[in-house]
């Protein structure tokens, strides 16, 4: 048994137990009351019957018959004169009876009167009926019944109640245990599942729990487990990729530094090696900078400060920055953007998006090709398209292009100075601006990145 079952079980038990006790006491009192009432009325009716016989014929013979009749039952009849002197009694008259007989009320109703009903404390219950013959008050018929019999009957009743109470208690406990098991079982399974998840075991198997809140909770735990597993795998892959990415330039740097420091290396070669070392260090610092940016984005410490930006001059100033690199490759860039177009964005962070995309278009295109940058307002949203005529991206690589460290042609892009992080940074920045980015490409036919903001 676990804590929650015990808690719910005890609560159930207490609630039902209290309810049952109240009902039992109520029922018990009612039954006793009506049984005693029955005894009293039957005693009184019996007295009234004797009285009616006597009113019809008040003779010694009749009186004797009544006495004989009554002597054979567990009740006792006493017939007295109006002043209380006893005519006849079916059995011995005890002192208790005499005391009770003194309490006859005056006037006494013809249908009789219950003289004593305290069955708990007194030896007898009693009734009295007046005998009136021709409007003349002739005497009293007293009826007595020993309370022992009533007490016996009631103790029998109590025993039945006790057995019924114990049986229902037993059933109640069995039902509560079964019900609590049924109710708490899924909770316990879920708590065990979350414990396993926290220990790194993501293979949660929870049975179908229906469509209620419990079922929803179970589903959420399953989703959580698979999300966590994915995150963990992603993190491991990411760390593996980072160390791999760092190792390559470091190996170059170490190797060339080793050759360069040798005595026999001639000045010309040394300069070449130092040049390579310088280049590789540049790549390393670019990689570290981009990693740092990504880490900041992941932590959400990255804030986007939007301001109103006129898009045409904004794009022109960015293009100016890349013009020397484009000139070097004999490439052309065409900007298509109407003068009045503006939107709210973070100019510094968004510049990185555009620079990355234009730089990719340059890196993965042949010299003398063209890059088109189109900025349009289509039904209230700004569409930006950066299109090149370069080598394109094979269809199977397209879905993974925004993943960290994903590169189509690893050796080639590394040689071009790519880190494989550029597009994942672009995507995160665009999404931080509330926008979307998609790519369309055909190998050898160029690539287009389209952002909608």
**Interaction residues for ligand ADP, span 316-375 (CB under 6 A):** 356, 360-361, 364
Cα 261 from chain centroid? 67
b/e code 202-229 from CB counts within 10 Å (16+ = b) = bebebeebeeeeeeeebeebbeebeeeb
Nearest Cα neighbor of 330 from 284, 371, 376, 279 is 371
Radius of gyration of the chain (CA): 53
| 67: contact with ligand ADP by CB under 6 A | no
DSSP secondary structure letter of residue 400: G
Nearby residues of 40 by Cβ (< 8 Å), 6 or more positions away: 114, 117, 125, 127
**Interaction residues for ligand ADP, span 177-206 (CB under 6 A):** none
In whole angstroms, how far apart are CA 312 and each of 75, 325, 340, 342? 119, 21, 8, 8
In three-state secondary structure terms, 387 is strand
Nearer to ligand ADP, 63 or 358 (CB): 358
| 8 A C-beta contact, residue 78 and residue 97 | yes
| 437: contact with ligand ADP by CB under 6 A | no
| 423: contact with ligand ADP by CB under 6 A | yes
The stretch among 200-208, 263-271, 304-312, 422-430 that binds ligand ADP (CB under 6 A) is: 422-430
| 8 A C-beta contact, residue 53 and residue 45 | no
Smallest distance from ligand ADP to CB 356, Å: 6
Question: Judged by CB under 6 A, which of 78, 388, 429, 433 binds ligand ADP?
Answer: 388
Cis peptide leading into residue 239 (ω within 30°): no
| 422: contact with ligand ADP by CB under 6 A | yes
Question: Judged by CB under 6 A, which of 413, 427, 433, 451 binds ligand ADP?
Answer: 413
Nearer to ligand ADP, 100 or 353 (CB): 353
Smallest distance from ligand ADP to CB 403, Å: 8
Smallest distance from ligand ADP to CB 274, Å: 25
Nearer to ligand ADP, 184 or 447 (CB): 447
Nearest Cα neighbor of 407 from 373, 363, 449 is 363
Smallest distance from ligand ADP to CB 234, Å: 16
Smallest distance from ligand ADP to CB 324, Å: 19
Nearer to ligand ADP, 269 or 409 (CB): 409
Question: Judged by CB under 6 A, which of 50, 51, 283, 407 binds ligand ADP?
Answer: 407
DSSP H stretches of helix in 131-266: 147-198, 213-260
| 401: contact with ligand ADP by CB under 6 A | yes
Q: What are phi and psi of 110, to 5 degrees?
A: -65, -30
The stretch among 62-70, 121-129, 377-385, 408-416 that binds ligand ADP (CB under 6 A) is: 408-416
Q: Which residue in the shown chain puts its C-beta closest to ligand ADP?
A: 418
| 5: contact with ligand ADP by CB under 6 A | no
Binding residues for ligand ADP (CB under 6 A): 356, 360-361, 364, 388, 390-393, 401, 406-409, 413, 418-424, 447
């Amino acid at each position: 048994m676990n804590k929650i079952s015990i808690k719910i079980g005890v609560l159930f038990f207490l609630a039902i137990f209290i309810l049952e006790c109240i009902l039992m006491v109520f029922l018990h009192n009612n039954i006793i009351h009506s049984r005693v009432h029955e005894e009293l009325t039957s005693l009184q009716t019996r007295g009234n019957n004797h009285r009616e016989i006597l009113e019809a014929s008040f003779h010694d013979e009749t009186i004797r018959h009544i006495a004989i009749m009554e002597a054979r039952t567990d009740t006792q009849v006493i017939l007295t004169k109006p002043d209380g002197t006893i005519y006849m009694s079916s059995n011995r008259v005890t002192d208790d009876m005499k005391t009770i007989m003194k309490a006859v009320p005056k006037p006494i109703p013809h249908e009789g009167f219950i003289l004593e009903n305290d069955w708990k404390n007194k030896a007898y219950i009693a009734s009295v009926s007046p005998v009136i013959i021709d409007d003349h008050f002739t005497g009293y018929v007293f009826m007595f019944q020993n309370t022992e019999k009533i007490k016996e009957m009631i103790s029998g009743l109590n025993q039945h109640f006790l057995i019924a109470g114990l049986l229902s208690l037993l059933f109640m406990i069995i039902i509560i245990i079964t019900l609590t098991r049924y109710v708490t079982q899924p909770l316990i399974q879920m708590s065990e599942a979350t414990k396993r998840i926290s220990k790194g075991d993501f293979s949660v198997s929870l049975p179908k729990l229906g469509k209620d809140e419990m079922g929803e909770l179970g589903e959420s735990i399953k989703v959580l487990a698979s999300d966590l597993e994915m995150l963990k795998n992603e993190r491991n892959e990411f760390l593996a990729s980072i160390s791999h990415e760092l190792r390559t330039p470091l190996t170059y740097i170490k190797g060339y530094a080793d050759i360069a420091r040798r005595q026999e290396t001639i000045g010309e070669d040394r300069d070449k090696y130092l040049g390579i070392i310088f280049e590789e260090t540049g790549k390393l610092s670019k990689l570290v900078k981009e990693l740092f940016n990504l880490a900041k984005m992941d932590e959400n410490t990255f804030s986007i400060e939007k301001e109103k930006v006129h898009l045409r001059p904004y794009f022109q100033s960015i293009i100016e920055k890349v013009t020397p690199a484009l000139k070097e490759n004999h490439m052309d860039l065409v900007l298509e953007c109407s003068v009045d177009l503006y939107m709210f964005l973070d100019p510094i962070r968004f510049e990185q998006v555009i620079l990355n995309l234009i730089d990719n278009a340059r890196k993965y295109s042949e010299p003398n090709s063209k890059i088109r940058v189109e900025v349009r307002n289509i039904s209230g949203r700004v569409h930006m398209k950066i299109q090149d005529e370069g080598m394109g991206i094979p269809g199977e690589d397209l879905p993974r292009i925004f993943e960290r460290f994903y590169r189509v042609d690893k050796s080639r892009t590394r040689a071009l100075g790519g880190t494989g992080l550029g597009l994942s940074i672009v995507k995160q920045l665009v999404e931080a601006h509330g926008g979307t980015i998609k790519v369309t490409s055909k190998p050898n036919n160029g690539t287009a990145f389209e952002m909608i903001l």
